[in-house]
Amino acid sequence: MSDVAASPGNTNTASAAPEQMAWDSKTRRVVLLYVPLACFLFILLFPFYWMTVTAFKPNAELYNFAEHNPLWISSPTLEHVYHLLFNTAYPKWLWTTMLVAVASTFLSLLASTLAAYAIQRLRFRGSQYVGLAIYLAYLVPPSILFIPLATMVVQLGLFDTPFALILTYPTFLIPFCTWLLIGYFKSIPYELEECALIDGATRLQILRQITLPLAVPGLISAGIFAFTLSWNEFIYALAFIQSSESKTVPVAILTELVTGDVYQWGALMAGSLLGSLPVAIFYSFFVDYYVSSLTGAVKE
């Protein structure tokens, strides 16, 4: 009789246990996953939100927080965007930045592809140490290379021209791209190249027809890094470019939109917003290749 009387309670306890476990699992998932993810997204995206709000907010709202909400726009305006596009040389700055970034990325990928293939595939004595030395060169601060690079730029007559940046940016782009491509070339089976060598293909034909098509994700990943670093670079662009119309966007919006102690916050934020769009669009198109390249580069 005691066993029969105790059975209903045992049934309720047994049915409540899975519900409690499910609740604990959901709570743990929210606390450990969704809350940190929400905090991360807020910290990451809030600067872009603030930049967008400031770019389209009239000056009356920008400098009067007592009557207007600083986190919202009551009367959106395109005044700052119009001033930036038609009263400044921003289109020229944007074109110069694009030219420098694309040219530097192309030169860096060309040189780093050849270097990474030679280090990884030709297997000469000390190739591993050469690859390590190339990566260590990437860790050298740009400020240390500033004086010798400035001397070379002046001697070549490239000062105050975009070519000064196109030739100096690869000094810090090539080492990193080479290191990244070395890791990705390791994931490509060497037997494919051995078969091509047996069939009489040259090293250049193998690189062009076999290795590069298989290494497209790695090339895209290296290109994203090179393009982003070239687009956002500040020190060399500030030192080697002096004329207003030849400046890049990161330098121009700081030096040309600040007069004395007066900051044109609306135009500054509009310029930053428009300047960040090309990088975001470029990254969004190739994010899948970027992730797959990192996986291939580190799996060995």
State whether 241 and 98 are in the same domain.
Answer: yes
Mean pLDDT of 64-78: 80
pLDDT value, residue 8? 52
6 has pLDDT over 60: no
State whether 97 and 40 are in the same domain.
Answer: no
Residue 20 lies in a domain: yes
pLDDT value, residue 122? 79
State whether 23 and 93 are in the same domain.
Answer: no
Residue 176 lies in a domain: yes
State whether 173 and 231 are in the same domain.
Answer: yes
Q: Give the C-alpha separation, 172 to 190, whole Å.
A: 29
Residue 77 lies in a domain: no
pTM score: 0.79
Residue 223 lies in a domain: yes
Q: Is 188 exposed, middle or buried (0-12, 13-18, 19+ CB in 10 A)?
A: middle
State whether 237 and 180 are in the same domain.
Answer: yes
State whether 109 and 10 are in the same domain.
Answer: no
- Among the listed residues 189, 71, 60, the one whose alpha carbon sits nearest the alpha carbon of residue 121: 189
Residue 82 lies in a domain: no
State whether 12 and 132 are in the same domain.
Answer: no
In contact, 149 and 266? CB cutoff 8 Å? no
Look at residues 31, 55, 79 and tell me which one is the last residue of a structural domain: 55
Structure confidence at residue 207 as a pLDDT band (50, 70, 90): confident
21 has pLDDT over 90: no
Domain count, the chain: 2
State whether 37 and 127 are in the same domain.
Answer: no
CA 247 to chain centre: 21
Q: Which two tokens stand for residue 69?
A: 């909400």
Which CATH number covers residue 292? 1.10.3720.10
Q: What are phi and psi of 137, to 5 degrees?
A: -65, -30
Mean pLDDT of 88-113: 92
Q: pLDDT (tens digit, 9 = 90+) per residue, 147-201?
A: 888 888 899 888 989 999 999 999 889 988 888 888 888 888 888 888 888 888 8
Structure confidence at residue 2 as a pLDDT band (50, 70, 90): very low
* Segment among 15-29, 131-145, 250-264 with least mean pLDDT: 15-29
State whether 128 and 15 are in the same domain.
Answer: no
Residue 17 lies in a domain: yes
Residue 200 lies in a domain: yes
pLDDT value, residue 165? 92
DSSP 246: G
State whether 46 and 167 are in the same domain.
Answer: no
State whether 27 and 170 are in the same domain.
Answer: no
214 has pLDDT over 90: no
Residue 209 lies in a domain: yes
Domain that holds residue 216: 88-298
State whether 14 and 128 are in the same domain.
Answer: no
